[in-house]
Amino acid sequence: MNVNDIKHAGLKKWIEDFAALTNPDEIILADGSSAQYDELIDQQVAAGYATRLNPAKKPGCVAYNSDPSDVARVEKRTYISSVKQEDAGPTNNWMDPTQLKKEMTDLYRGCMKGRTMYIIPFSMGPLGSPISKIGVEITDSAYVVANMMIMTRVGVKVLELLGTDGYYVPCYHSVGKPLAEGESDNGKWPCAAMEHKYISHFPETREIWSYGSGYGGNALLGKKCLALRIATVLARDEGWLAEHMLILKITSPEGKSRFVTGAFPSACGKTNLAMLIPTIPGWKVETVGDDIAWMKFGSDGQLYAINPEAGFFGVAPGTSDDSNRNALIAASSNTIFTNVGVTEDKDIWWEGIGYDAPGKLIDWNDNEWVQDKTDKTQKPAAHPNARFTAPAVQCPSIAAEWEDPKGVPVSAILFGGRRPKTIPLVHQSHDWAHGVFLGSIVGSEVTAAALDVKAGTIRRDPFAMLPFCGYNMGDYFQHWLDVGHAAPDAEKLPKIFYVNWFRKTAEGKWLWPGYGENSRVLKWVFERCEGTAKFVDTPIGIMPTIDAIDRPEGVTEEDMKELLAVDLDGWINEVEDIRTNHYPKFGNHLPKELAVFLDTLESNLKAAK
């Protein structure tokens, strides 16, 4: 099938118009077949963009190195271009849509000369699911096509679902590097200069326009762009939730299962939790999704979630047999690696993989690299944001229900962040609205090295959605409250919890071992959903009794008392920070209901002193 065979007149015209603007050498339709995927990879290897890895060690795998200027999401060049600036809100970059579209149209003009234009019809979520959405991405990057084939459901079946007039989200993309006649990239990663990079979202017209970057969420437009920034707008207007959340299934020794979603800022172990291997005998955790959850009410009044993605786009450094064995296995074949180290025998290596570098490597900058542990200034072999793109179906912990079109029924929602003090190991909201309050105040500690701020500073990241909400975040809080008010049966709403695996002693030692031991907290969450858990009410919410959570080896009763204590002074300081530095950002868009919760929390804390 080729572009001329497309039956959707609107889609066909959109493609023709963009081709006339960008002037590609040829146009190819991504059909989703393994044969086409293999052909694209073969072409990329032959052209020097990619290195084929050792089939005895990493069958079906390739490694790419990007340009040093194109290694991560570029937040400062990411725009929510609503008609009114107020609708983008205080946490998003904004540009006038008329001005932005003019600037980008000028950049798109002739930008695909010397290149192939690929058309990628893709489904976010299982084909035909009532929660799924369809997008179509136009790109001049074969790397993007191959990654999208892993991360989404791509191909002819998507076009069949669209029919002659179905709805799709249009996604424009170009690496922004046209080629003169006879010119080639010489195997070098193509992208534009930083000042010409744009990742733009138009909420009113539901469009995504990306230019200048070939990397990750800047270019794989099904990922953060559609799955969150545009999907949050669709969800607001249609009465559902599009969230930056993992989805896991936990099963008790008795065979009873519950599904849990969880939102955590970066570096807080979201993927590790999604693929967790429990340390409690008889308990089992399985993976539905590691990054995105779309949730809608079913006909039975229960909230159901799908993972709209088909793969994992995971951070490689720090992923090891100890931290996330299931992720390593998922990425052991048919995987695209980006910006990792490559060994002499064509295997991969990165910092934190769990063993020393085996001899000489080629690092992510295409330079020879030999590990020198005595040199504290040695640059890493893998970029800190190096990635693996792996099919979800290869994950050993993948749940049988992960592609169920109706989704999975959500029993609990977790929020969390990296907090060395104040926030206890786990506490629970009294109800949905109180849970929205907890989600709205999520914060995580950042280091001075990361953001040039005072060490210990807390960066608020409400719902772990700070970079991903496609409209005013104050209105987003209100939407969450509205979803609760509109629930067909309030008793069936998921219970909401706030967890913190990152508590430290005054001396800086971890109080909680984390990783697989977090299954002990999940067990208490499960038991709260069952109505069997031991608990106590406190000024901040519902908490486990000291003996309600099975203690891991090395965690004393005194440690548990510290982990489950309500730090009244710390929480009073927390309230002051929220009242002074966080909530005022949202002005009159902050729901009054949340301001009341903050006042109530403060009075509860003062009464308990």
Q: How many residues does the chain have?
A: 609
Residue 458 pLDDT grade (very low, low, confident, very high; cuts 50, 70, 90): confident
**Residue 514 pLDDT > 80, yes or no?**
yes
**Residue of 485, 480, 430 lying closest to 604 (CA atoms):** 430
> pLDDT tens digits, residue range 556-569?
999 999 999 999 99
Q: For the chain, what percent of residues have pLDDT higher than 70?
A: 98
> pLDDT tens digits, residue range 494-511?
999 999 999 999 898 999
C-alpha distances in Å from residue 219, one per residue of 47, 176, 405, 413, 496: 20, 11, 27, 30, 33
Distance CA 187, CA 195 (A): 23
Max alpha carbon distance in the chain (Å)?
Answer: 77
Which pLDDT score is estimated for 1?
77
Backbone angles phi, psi at 21, to 5 degrees: -75, -45
Predicted TM-score of the model (pTM): 0.97
| Selected residue with higher pLDDT from 507 and 82 | 82
Which pLDDT score is estimated for 446?
76
Q: Do 486 and 240 touch, CB atoms closer than 8 A?
A: no
- In 417-526, which ranges are E strands? 426-428, 443-445, 458-460, 495-499
The one catalytic residue among 111, 191, 268, 395: 268
> pLDDT tens digits, residue range 349-379?
999 999 999 999 999 999 999 999 999 999 9
**Residue 453 pLDDT > 80, yes or no?**
no
Backbone angles phi, psi at 180, to 5 degrees: -70, 165
Question: Strand, helix or coil at 221?
Answer: coil
Domains of the chain (ranges plus CATH)? 3-62+77-239 (3.40.449.10), 243-309+399-608 (3.90.228.20), 312-394 (2.170.8.10)
Residue 415 pLDDT grade (very low, low, confident, very high; cuts 50, 70, 90): very high
Take residue 479 and report the two structure tokens written for it: 């939407």
Which pLDDT score is estimated for 587?
97
Which pLDDT score is estimated for 506?
87
Distance CA 46, CA 439 (A): 48
Backbone angles phi, psi at 313, to 5 degrees: -110, 80
Backbone angles phi, psi at 80, to 5 degrees: -105, 105
> pLDDT tens digits, residue range 182-226?
999 999 999 999 999 999 999 999 999 999 999 999 999 999 999
- Reply yes or no on whether 111 is catalytic: no
Mean pLDDT of the chain: 96
> pLDDT tens digits, residue range 136-190?
999 999 999 999 999 999 999 999 999 999 999 999 999 999 999 999 999 999 9
**Residue 269 pLDDT > 90, yes or no?**
no
Residue 451 pLDDT grade (very low, low, confident, very high; cuts 50, 70, 90): very low
Which pLDDT score is estimated for 450?
42
Report the pLDDT averaged over residues 443-468. Answer: 75
Dihedral sign computed on CA atoms, order 211, 214, 215, 217? positive
**Residue 454 pLDDT > 80, yes or no?**
no
Distance CA 136, CA 121 (A): 4
Residue 449 pLDDT grade (very low, low, confident, very high; cuts 50, 70, 90): very low
Residues 6+ apart with CB under 8 A from 297: 239, 240, 303, 304, 487, 488
How many alpha carbons lie under 13 Å from residue 492 in its C-beta half-sphere?
16
Q: Which helix (H) or strand (E) holds 207?
A: strand 207-211
Q: Which helix (H) or strand (E) holds 535?
A: strand 535-538
Dihedral sign computed on CA atoms, order 327, 329, 330, 332? positive
**Residue 447 pLDDT > 60, yes or no?**
no
C-alpha distances in Å from residue 255, one per residue of 12, 252, 283, 284: 50, 5, 9, 9
Take residue 89 and report the two structure tokens written for it: 């809100």
As a whole number of Å, the end-to-end CA separation of the chain is: 71
Report the pLDDT averaged over residues 480-493. Answer: 97
Distance CA 296, CA 409 (A): 10
Report the pLDDT averaged over residues 111-123. Answer: 98
Question: Strand, helix or coil at 599?
Answer: helix
Distance CA 317, CA 246 (A): 20
Strands 336-338 and 387-391, by their bridges, are antiparallel
Q: Do 227 and 111 touch, CB atoms closer than 8 A?
A: no
